[in-house]
Structure 1
Amino acid sequence: MANILTVDDSASMRQMVAFTLKAAGHSVTEAADGQQALQIAKGQSFDLVLTDVNMPVMDGLALTREIRQLPGYRFTPILILTTEAGTDKKQEGRAAGATGWLVKPFNPEQLLATVAKVLG
């Protein structure tokens, strides 16, 4: 299964996402903000990055732009999981390099189906 980096400043949200992904057989690494996630991504490779938008230190869109600059992450799927549902934010996410957009609260089956789709 996939090695996934999940990023959210909410510990309960990270736990729910990790639980859902691990139950489907994925390996999950958690980060509490974009800066922490970027440091982790620099040290190991992931098949997928799943990030929130609104976080302290570094938000998810800045993280997406930074990760896209790292060697080996140019084509890695990056999914945004956020409460933000506006078209402007989604376009900003696409411009930053996001592969897809999911709105919280998430449906576990929908999350797993989207993960499976972007992992091909």
Structure 2
Amino acid sequence: MGSKTNPSVVARLKRKRRIRRKVHGTPERPRLTVYKSLKHIYAQIIDDTRGVTLAAASTLSPEFKALGPVEGKVGAAEKVGQIVAKKALDRGVTKVVFDRNGFIYHGRIRAVADGARAAGLEF
């Protein structure tokens, strides 16, 4: 990290490292991780013991685009949570651990979690 790096990004990455010391995805409870950029939101379910992504969804995925127009970024985040949860349930995953990736549990991050819970994932 250079001296010209954005301080808020540096702080988020610090929080991320602190969280990831404790949060680890197993085959029984894989990790649901969320990343948000200014325009898009991404969610994936990862088994860290094998290093495999079991399910993924984002605002760029074809399943999301097939839904048609969505109301705002928070609404889009909730739909992404529902899509990733449906994919996980199809793969037989019912329980996950939530990794907020250093972001504050608020707004779009919370919407992904709420959407995944509403679609049937437990965490």
How does the TM-score come out when normalised to structure 2? 0.34
Structure number with the bigger relative contact order (C-alpha 8 A, sep ≥ 6) is 2
Which structure's CA Rg is the greater one? 2
